[in-house]
A and B are shown apart, each in its own frame.
Chain A
Amino acid sequence: MSMSERKLTPDLFRPANLNSDKAEEISKPSLSFWQDAFRRLKQNKGAMLGLFAIVFIIVFSLIAPTFTKYGIDDQELMRSNLPPKIPGLEKIEFLGVNGVDIRDVNQYEMKNVPKDDYFWFGTDSLGRDQWTRVWKGTQISLYIAFLASAIELIIGVVYGGVSAFYGGRTDDIMQRIVEILYGIPNLVVIILFIIILDPGILSITLALVITGWIGMSRIVRAQIISLKNREFVLASRTLGSTNGRLISKHLLPNTLGAIIVTSTFTIPGAIFFESFLSFIGLGIQPPIASLGSLIADGFRSIRIYPHLAIYPASVLCILMISFNLLGDGLRDALDPKMRR
């Protein structure tokens, strides 16, 4: 037998490294929940693309209006309805940015616009620079969306949190109220409020908030109810934490994921409703514009001047798609259970 030929001598053996401190050492730095979530988010190409597009549009909406010398309501009827013309790109025929309209007339020459005047997105029926208006409109759309979402977030978190945390009778009463409000179609309420309040940035925001916070409060309530009976909360309570500490140190941080995900979906929702209202004539009133009102104006003359609708519509679509992609990515990254 070959086995017996090899003698087992003590020098073949070495004592194992039994240092108990070393054995349980973790070689890689541990990832916190947020680092882990961010790592997962980075792997999601769609979400990163969306994030990039959102940041790009936000930055652009802030700085782009300064690229041209025209203000948002600088009217000049001599240069009305000019098609887009972009320096450099005007040589390339099929891009359609050479100042020639759909009837093959170079409007810039016909209307005697100075040679070095370029309107990158063209001008509208009053001769206002569409480039400035589109980006200013984006600014206003985003402003309304962020403001409405922020207020919704605060009201929703407080309402849902209080309702879930105190439970019992408080919860009963608060949830009955929510149940009734929940049944009211938000579109109807929003339209009614706009009619009463006169369209404007603040009234649109308010109208969006009035129904918008309910969704957030329900999600926060569900999260906190499931959290507050968990062991770590009990442990903290046993160690003498006050309610305030429990909420701020344990309950809210653990709900943050769901709150962020919900917010990324309320923002495009608000953008949609704002543009929808502007589209049916209840939104932003002239002279300021939002993406929705620009699209509505553009569609009125889309047969002759398609550029008026195409550019704001593209910005709106990119914005909506990006927020949805980012929201999907965040949901997958922050809460794998919520995956849909």
Chain B
Amino acid sequence: MLRYITQRILYMLLTLLIIATITFFLMKLLPGSPFNNQDKLTETQRYALNEKYGLNDPVPVQYINYITKLAQGDLGYTFQFDGRTVNSLIVNGMGPSATVGFEALLFGTIVGLLLGILAALRHNTFLDYGAMVIAVFGIAIPSFVFAGLLQYYVGVKLGWLPVAFWNGPEYHIMPAFSLSVGVIATVARFMRTEMLEILGTDYILMARSKGVSKSAVIFKHSVRNSLIPIVTILGPMAIGLITGSLVIENIFAIPGIGEQFVKAITVNDYPVIMGTTIFYSFLIVSIILIVDILYGIIDPRIRVAGGKS
């Protein structure tokens, strides 16, 4: 197990290094420099600026500097605000992003589990079909479309909830809900299949014939056993949440990392793009690593194969 984990961590570091390298050289490929457009700068000033940001060094030196700094967790300075680091932008954005993500995950998992369990227990009834229709819709409809429509109908037309911004608990409801739709759908679908499989096993029949109460059969024997493989969908779900947060934060004007990222793209703030890219990659790669390790602990038969979208 230890060897497996070490090997996986090495792979993870290699992946991150490759991502950082690709990001760096892609950014270098872009024509121009951040200070070329400012006509007012004299040659000396431009030289000084380039010197300050280390842009006068040859590319390999810049690369080494960049990677060394990265290894120390320093992502450089943003071009948008004077003297602010990318790290501070990410740290500032982390709060709202993590809050929305966590709320969506919590709400989505609970509702998804309930839907999935109910659908399996009432297999082939109206409830089952209803739950599966919700699941297909939830998987198919892009979260930004859902968020936009929700914002329009609930926020603008009905006026029940604030349309955007981030000023209090009631501002969390719509973004978290739009983000959780995908989670609900994935969890519900997964739970239903697992539950159906387990409800058909011999040990459930055995428990029933022994006279175990209905609730004990459902909660102690079926639900608990169906929950084990749910680890497999954690990875894809986390990636989906991160992807979704990019647009959800923009639609609802939440000051999170996703909003920073999209804003950086529109104003060509390369250090921020690079920094957030690496941050996101780190996040996703670590989630996949944790999921794979969890997987190995829960089910020792699976060691090398991993599940991802």
Whether chains A and B associate is yes
Q: Which of A281, A309, A323, A328 interacts with B262 by CB under 8 Å?
A: A281
B-chain residues with CB within 8 Å of residue A306 when the two chains form the complex = 152
The verdict on B127 contacting chain A, using a C-beta distance below 8 Å, is no
Interface residues of B in 274-304 (CB under 8 A from A): 277, 280-281, 284-285, 288
The verdict on A192 contacting chain B, using a C-beta distance below 8 Å, is yes
The verdict on A202 contacting chain B, using a C-beta distance below 8 Å, is no
The verdict on B208 contacting chain A, using a C-beta distance below 8 Å, is no
Nearest chain A residue, comparing its CB with the CB of B282 = A185
Cα–Cα, bound, A196→B273 (Å)? 12
Cα–Cα, bound, A251→B188 (Å)? 35
Would you list the 7 A-B pairs with minimal beta carbon distance, nearest first?
A183-B15, A320-B140, A321-B140, A185-B284, A324-B140, A299-B148, A313-B145
Nearest chain A residue, comparing its CB with the CB of B243 = A187
Pick from B18-26, B96-104, B117-125, B165-173 the stretch touching chain A. B18-26
Interface residues of A in 184-220 (CB under 8 A from B): 184-185, 187-189, 191-193, 195-196, 215
Q: Are B22 and A196 in contact (CB under 8 A)?
A: no
Cα–Cα, bound, A282→B250 (Å)? 14
The verdict on B48 contacting chain A, using a C-beta distance below 8 Å, is no
B-chain residues with CB within 8 Å of residue A313 when the two chains form the complex = 145, 148-149
Residues in B lying within 8 Å of A, measured CB to CB: 11-12, 14-15, 18-19, 22-23, 26, 29-30, 136-137, 139-142, 144-145, 148-149, 151-152, 156, 189-190, 193, 239, 242-243, 246-247, 250-251, 262, 265-266, 273, 277, 280-281, 284-285, 288, 308-309
Q: Are B11 and A179 in contact (CB under 8 A)?
A: yes
Q: Are A196 and B140 in contact (CB under 8 A)?
A: no
With A196-B30, A276-B243, A303-B152 as contacts: A191 and B277 at CB distance below 8 Å: yes
A-chain residues with CB within 8 Å of residue B190 when the two chains form the complex = 340
The verdict on A317 contacting chain B, using a C-beta distance below 8 Å, is yes
Nearest chain B residue, comparing its CB with the CB of A324 = B140
Q: Are A180 and B277 in contact (CB under 8 A)?
A: no
B-chain residues with CB within 8 Å of residue A148 when the two chains form the complex = none
A81, chain B: closest CB distance, angstroms: 17
B42, chain A: closest CB distance, angstroms: 30
Q: Are B243 and A295 in contact (CB under 8 A)?
A: no
Q: For the side of the interface on A, what is the size category?
A: 35 or more
Q: Are B15 and A316 in contact (CB under 8 A)?
A: no
Cα–Cα, bound, A184→B11 (Å)? 11
B6, chain A: closest CB distance, angstroms: 15
Cα–Cα, bound, A303→B151 (Å)? 10
With A192-B277, A272-B142 as contacts: A309 and B148 at CB distance below 8 Å: yes
Q: Are A340 and B140 in contact (CB under 8 A)?
A: no
Q: Are A280 and B247 in contact (CB under 8 A)?
A: yes
A-chain residues with CB within 8 Å of residue B308 when the two chains form the complex = 182
B56, chain A: closest CB distance, angstroms: 23
The verdict on A113 contacting chain B, using a C-beta distance below 8 Å, is no
Residues in A lying within 8 Å of B, measured CB to CB: 46, 179-180, 182-185, 187-189, 191-193, 195-196, 215, 268, 272, 275-276, 279-282, 295, 299, 302-303, 306, 309, 313, 316-317, 320-321, 323-325, 328, 339-340
Q: Are B247 and A279 in contact (CB under 8 A)?
A: yes
Cα–Cα, bound, A188→B239 (Å)? 11
B-chain residues with CB within 8 Å of residue A191 when the two chains form the complex = 265, 277
With A195-B265, A282-B265, A313-B145 as contacts: A188 and B26 at CB distance below 8 Å: no
Cα–Cα, bound, A222→B126 (Å)? 37
B241, chain A: closest CB distance, angstroms: 12
Q: Are B136 and A325 in contact (CB under 8 A)?
A: yes
Nearest chain A residue, comparing its CB with the CB of B278 = A188
Q: Are A184 and B15 in contact (CB under 8 A)?
A: yes
Q: Are A280 and B285 in contact (CB under 8 A)?
A: no
Q: Are A303 and B243 in contact (CB under 8 A)?
A: no
A-chain residues with CB within 8 Å of residue B281 when the two chains form the complex = 184-185, 188
A321, chain B: closest CB distance, angstroms: 4
Q: Are A188 and B142 in contact (CB under 8 A)?
A: no
Cα–Cα, bound, A272→B190 (Å)? 22
With A309-B152, A325-B136 given, name 10 new contacts (CB 8 A). A183-B285, A185-B280, A196-B29, A279-B247, A280-B250, A281-B262, A282-B265, A321-B140, A323-B140, A324-B139
Cα–Cα, bound, A321→B22 (Å)? 35
A-chain residues with CB within 8 Å of residue B136 when the two chains form the complex = 46, 321, 324-325, 328
With A272-B142, A276-B142 as contacts: A196 and B148 at CB distance below 8 Å: no
Cα–Cα, bound, A320→B151 (Å)? 21
B190, chain A: closest CB distance, angstroms: 8
Cα–Cα, bound, A320→B112 (Å)? 21
Cα–Cα, bound, A195→B142 (Å)? 22
Q: Are A195 and B26 in contact (CB under 8 A)?
A: yes
With A188-B281, A195-B26, A309-B148 as contacts: A183 and B288 at CB distance below 8 Å: yes
Q: Which of A180, A276, A280, A317 interacts with B140 by CB under 8 Å?
A: A317
A260, chain B: closest CB distance, angstroms: 19
**Sampled A-B contacts (22; CB under 8 Å):** A180-B14, A184-B15, A184-B281, A187-B239, A187-B243, A188-B277, A188-B281, A188-B284, A192-B22, A196-B29, A276-B247, A280-B246, A280-B265, A299-B148, A299-B251, A303-B152, A313-B148, A316-B142, A317-B141, A320-B140, A321-B141, A324-B136
